[in-house]
Amino acid sequence: MFDRMKANLQAELQQIKTAGLFKEERILVSPQSAEITLKNGKKVLNFCANNYLGLSDHPRLIAAAHKALETHGYGMSSVRFICGTTDLHKILEQKISEYFGTDDTILYASAFDANGGVFEPLLSPKDAIISDSLNHASIIDGVRLCKAELYRYANANMEQLEERLIMSQEANYRMIVTDGVFSMDGNVAPMDEIVRLADKYDALVMVDECHSAGVVGPTGRGVTELFDLRGRVEIITGTLGKAFGGAIGGFTTGKKEIIELLRQRSRPYLFSNSLPPAVVSAGIEMFDMMSETHELQDRLHHNTKQFVSQMQSVGFDLKPTKSAICAVMLYDAVLAKNFADMLLEEGIYVVGFSFPVVPRGEARIRVQLSAAHTDAHLEKAITAFISVGKKLGVIGG
Ligand SMILES: *Cc1c(COP(=O)(O)O)cnc(C)c1O
């Protein structure tokens, strides 16, 4: 049997390669940081990690992880409800609730699991989910696992959202679902309008804060802080794998009864292993740091502003951003790839994105800023962008 399958798999892989969509993995031999070392020994500045606060190699998190290895061991060898819950898991859940101003929190192995396990326990075929068309793959998969009726609206399009709310009025419960920050453009969901429409049409709201938590809002509490809506959103999902240390782990935080039911019924929680103590302990340390100061957010916001204004002043076309994601628009897929390759030669690591990850004709380089970037790092990156931009005729001069 495999002989037949093998030929088909080979053909499919070849198709991916011919279309220019084959993903190669670049191998790092250093910790994740503003500066990283590649396998060939080359040191480059990293502008494509989700390491928004520069915590991936932070000494306090490393120390906290070490400490828990000593006190709580390496692995939990259990799901939470059998024997996989430690005092540390409960403390981290509490810290996350305090951070977001919510009632309670449930941890998962990833945000992919949090989103995969949130809809099915809460919604039945009598209910409706109204989902932004650019929501993350894990939301799309989670929605597929649940029997509620699905309505989609164009990205951040509030007229369409209102239409869908009117169309779905027969449903028992309705839930509007959106990413907080959309990862390809860096735009934020218009949460003020979403919550207003949810109130008007009596719907629940769920927001996925993976790219916004730690980043967006004056103190990094995410889009509910940015729009002054703390406590007004029923469900927030997020990750420990981006701004919050970048290791692994996800969570759902929100209304008490929702979280309690998820602990009873959510399949990725019930049937997948508990987070390791080292990760949980570093997570606790990280939220302690977040409650002491928002210096890292200040630095990140400063870096983003600097990058955007300097790039625009030399003639680059950037999508308006409200996050730490900056889309440098090049519109042509081959150009975007060549641009990224040439930047790497100049010591700047970024990635070009083209169709089908972004719409056809909207190829771009996505730059992700970090609090770990210094002024010198930013200057080096912008100088490299200018040099490559001139060579490729993207900007004048
Ligand atoms: C990264 C991301 C996820 C997945 O997070 P993991 O914890 O890595 O599984 C889910 N939703 C959004 C919007 C994301 O950006």
Specify the residue with its C-alpha closest to ligand 1, atom 1.
210
d(CA 339, CA 351): 9
SS3 349: strand
| 129 and 216 inside one domain | yes
Which token pair is 36? Answer: 């990283």
Q: What is the pLDDT of residue 335?
A: 96
- Mean pLDDT value across residues 273-301: 98
Q: How far is the CA of 212 from the centre of ligand 1 (A)?
A: 11
Find the length of the chain: 397
Contact 226, 196 (CB under 8 A): no
224 within domain boundaries: yes
| Last residue within a domain, chosen from 258, 292, 326 | 292
Q: What is the mean pLDDT of residues 317-340?
A: 96
Cα(271)–Cα(234) distance, integer angstroms? 25
pLDDT tens digits, residue range 105-164?
999 999 999 999 999 999 999 999 999 999 999 999 999 999 999 999 999 999 999 999
Residue-wise pLDDT tens digits, 73-92: 999 999 999 999 999 999 99
Q: How close is the Cα of 331 to the center of ligand 1, in Å?
A: 26
Of 247, 274, 280, 277, the C-alpha closest to 71 is 277
81 and 187 in a single domain? The answer is: yes
The domain in which residue 180 lies consists of 59-292
- pLDDT higher than threshold 90 for residue 340: yes
Task: Give the CA dihedral 124, 128, 130, 131, nearest 10 degrees.
Answer: 30
Q: Please report the atom of ligand 1 found closest to the CA of residue 208.
A: 13
Is residue 272 very low, low, confident or very high in pLDDT (cuts 50, 70, 90)?
Answer: very high
Q: What is the CATH number of the domain that holds 336?
A: 3.90.1150.10
Which residues are the active-site residues? Answer: 183, 211, 242
238 and 225 Cβ atoms separated by less than 8 Å: no
Does 323 share its domain with 252?
A: no
The answer to whether residue 15 is domain-embedded is no
Contact assessment for residue 212 and residue 181, using Cβ atoms and an 8 Å cutoff: yes
Residues 208 and 340 in one domain: no
Confidence check: pLDDT of 389 > 80 = yes
Q: Is 167 within the bounds of a domain? A: yes
pLDDT (tens digit, 9 = 90+) per residue, 247-267? 999 999 999 999 999 999 999
| Lining residues, ligand 1, CB within 6 Å | 110-112, 115, 136, 138, 179, 183, 208, 210-211, 239, 241, 250
pLDDT over 90 (residue 237): yes
Reported as a single tens digit per residue, the pLDDT across 166-187 is: 999 999 999 999 999 999 999 9
Ligand 1 atom closest to Cα of residue 248 = 7
Task: Looking at the structure, tell me whether residues 28 and 113 fall in a common domain.
Answer: no
Q: Nearest C-alpha to atom 14 of ligand 1 is from which residue?
A: 210
Q: Same domain for 228 and 314?
A: no
Task: Give tens-digit pLDDT for 30-87.
Answer: 999 999 999 999 999 999 999 999 999 999 999 999 999 999 999 999 999 999 999 9
318, 260: one domain: no
Q: Has residue 334 got a pLDDT over 80?
A: yes
| Amino acid residing at 144 | R
Phi then psi dihedrals of residue 273, to 5 deg:
-65, 155
Same domain? 113 vs 241: yes
Residue 356 preceded by cis peptide, ω within 30: yes
Residue 395 CA to residue 379 CA, distance in Å, equals: 17
Do residues 157 and 231 both lie within one domain? yes
Report the mean per-residue pLDDT for the chain.
97
Same structural domain for residues 243 and 375?
no
Residue 180 lies in a domain: yes
Specify the number of domains making up the chain.
2
What is the arithmetic mean of pLDDT over 324-351? 97
CATH number at residue 232: 3.40.640.10
How many percent of the chain have pLDDT more than 70?
100
Residue 261 falls inside a structural domain: yes
Residue 3 lies in a domain: no
Looking at ligand 1, which atom is closest to the CA of residue 138? 10
pLDDT score recorded for residue 19: 85
Closest protein CA for atom 6 of ligand 1: 111
pLDDT value of residue 243: 98
Q: Say how far apart CA 123 and CA 305 lie, in whole Å.
A: 41
Domain boundary among 292, 326, 355: 292
Q: Among 237, 264, 292, where does a domain finish?
A: 292
Whose CA is closest to 248, among 291, 272, 282?
282
Question: Side by side, which strands form the sheet with 250-254?
Answer: 104-108, 250-254, 235-239, 204-208, 174-179, 128-132, 149-153
Q: What is the 92 CA–ligand 1 centroid distance (Å)? A: 19
Neighbours of 212 (CB within 10 A): 32
Q: Are 300 and 285 members of one domain?
A: no
Contact of 111 with 104, CB cutoff 8 Å: no
Q: Please tell me the distance between residue 139's alpha carbon and the centre of ligand 1 in angstroms.
A: 9
Say if 166 falls within a structural domain: yes
Angle at 133 between CA 350 and CA 205, to 5 degrees: 110
| 97, 82: one domain | yes
The amino acid present at 153, given as its one-letter code, is Y
In a domain, 117, yes or no: yes
